[in-house]
A and B are shown apart, each in its own frame.
Chain A
């Protein structure tokens, strides 16, 4: 489906493309249906509908100077650019833009790992570097540091962190944007800026002190459209000596509230890595009577759920804990966690899990010896990139809604009930929210829960249900104070609208900034729900 950028005719577009070829070389500019097909969002619920967003062309510079040149050409022609890194942001729009006719600024060729420092524990990379690439560079250092990676390893550390993506090791590394330190950005006028200590000529601390002096604008470039990030530093965890796991179960439904508070304490004290909450009662979901109970409108009572657990001889909830550090410290921390929780929750029980020296062997990474049915995904828990998680992709893909909620058991129960009831409008969807739906402890200090309905390229009715349910989830969650953390372009306005304190002052503030530095919307207009004056009119 050929499209043109806004406000430009075919002849002017051809001249624009010719200028791009002059800047980056003819081999690295693409347009036309065949070459642009891979720039569609293959996980889109609006696939082949009028709502789908299509890019008009793509350009792939090889260095920051070429990025700057491309931005200047786009500014001259008033053509919106849509920057992507490795283009693997699936479930959140993939490589497709907010505005029809945008030109994708494909940064995959900028794939240099500029530095891995294992004395001061950081790296500096370009946007086209994938987690697989970075792991290869880390391997070359003798595995002296541990990455923190998201599920699919083909993503970009820069792209993922700018989307505020997450990982699975220790708390302050799991927040990938929070773990960044220093960035280089091409601004909408083509100027090249460095943040933090990168602004000080001669500084050797760009990846060690993120702020420099004065206001730090780095946050504007995450889920924003104020520039094109061309380099970014990240803090890395020194490879821990040892890894240890443990399981704790609690018998009654209300015990979950205390369990969460204990785990919060352990996490905020720096004693544990990412945890996996679960319910052994999930094994009963194949039983029709139990399924009806767990998905009951208004939610089941504690007594009903406790009776079901008791009848089945199963605990109500569990948490899998992971410890990193010196061998003795991991053992002491696990013993402390057990003592703390078991002494406070009657009937709680603990099971010792796998433990071994790091880095892990291939057999240990394969995770087949845990003495319980584990939800820990071993590779991601140890920061080893993988695509094994692709097994969760159903049909032709999915979209994701992950509301941010308080880190309490009460909030988890409330989300189960509220969103479970709301989604009954869509009976063909799996019961994402039911009495056993557990929180995800990804970001450092908050919970999220998952809603990820599938899409099918050849089934528009199925996709329409997915699309409508996503919009309803965003709206209903916001009514209760639970906001989405990340969204595909087709949902960014919906999500942005929910962050509405004081008549949307946050968005109005962003719009003022956008109008000041990019009034024509050269960089990703609409991204993050931020539209420049040209597109608001």
Chain B
């Protein structure tokens, strides 16, 4: 079987829930609204900041673990539960980096995608209020 150039078009949108590559960080433990930023989150953020378990017995993924440690319960570790990350804040964090998280370039994550991300994170936080 040969799958040629159409792959880029078909899979650029990442409609591959359930695949091994996407499964990590996308645990079926919270409600995820179907808004455009969801795909950006799944592809760019979830492998480190998702809600699923980390590799090889780690209870959480590295980004989620780092934020859990940083906030000590004052704020949620998983980004999808954060209600305090509007686009301007998210843009500063992504363009300047934070700790072990390197900076993201406009060539890999556009300002428009960051706006979508912020909207998605706000939507997931609203759909999954902290108890």
Q: Which residues of A contact B (CB under 8 A)?
A: 28, 30, 34-35, 37-40, 42-43, 58, 60, 86-88, 90, 94-95, 106, 108-109, 111-120, 132-133, 135-137, 139-141, 143-144, 153-154, 359-360, 362, 365-368, 374, 376-379, 384-391, 393-397
Contact = CB atoms under 8 A, between A and B. Distances in A.
Nearest to B110: A27
Given A112-B5, A132-B43, A367 B55 contact: yes
Interface stretch (B80-88, B92-100, B121-129): B92-100
Interface in B36-76: 43, 47-48, 53-58, 61-63, 65
B106 A136 contact: no
A394 B69 CA distance: 13
Contact of B99 (A30, A133, A143, A396): A396
A349 B128 CA distance: 51
B56 A86 contact: no
B16 A119 contact: no
Given A132-B47, A135-B19, A135-B20, 7 more contacts: A112-B8, A119-B1, A136-B11, A136-B19, A365-B20, A368-B57, A393-B62
Contacts of B34: none
Contacts of B22: 136
A135 B96 CA distance: 29
3 A-B pairs closest in CB distance:
A388-B55, A38-B103, A135-B21
Contacts of A140: 3, 7, 10-11, 16
B8 A384 contact: no
B33 interface: no
A139 B16 contact: yes
Contacts of A117: 1-3
Given A132-B47, A135-B19, A137-B3, A386 B55 contact: yes
B103 A136 contact: no
A229 to B, nearest CB: 17
Nearest to A106: B107
B108 interface: yes
Interface string B101-115: 011111110000000
A200 to B, nearest CB: 19
B108 to A, nearest CB: 5
Residue among B1, B53, B103, B105 having the largest count of chain A Cβ atoms under 10 Å: B105
Nearest to B95: A38
Contacts of A34: 95
Interface of B: 1-5, 7-8, 10-12, 14, 16, 19-24, 43, 47-48, 53-58, 61-63, 65, 95-97, 99-100, 102-108
A395 B100 contact: yes
A95 B11 contact: no
Contacts of B4: 114-115
B107 A108 contact: yes
Given A108-B105, A387-B62, A391-B65, A139 B3 contact: no
A387 B5 contact: no
A116 B8 contact: no
Contact of A388 (B58, B97, B106, B107): B58
A111 B7 CA distance: 11
Nearest to A388: B55
A360 B22 CA distance: 14
A42 B103 contact: yes
Given A60-B107, A116-B7, A386-B24, A141 B62 contact: no
18 contacts: A38-B105, A39-B105, A60-B107, A113-B11, A115-B5, A115-B7, A132-B43, A136-B19, A143-B20, A367-B57, A374-B56, A379-B24, A385-B21, A387-B61, A387-B62, A388-B61, A390-B48, A391-B54
Given A87-B105, A135-B19, A377-B56, A141 B1 contact: yes
A518 to B, nearest CB: 24
A40 B47 CA distance: 23
A375 to B, nearest CB: 9
Given A38-B95, A114-B4, A132-B21, A367 B107 contact: no
A115 B57 contact: no
A111 B13 CA distance: 12
B24 A388 contact: yes
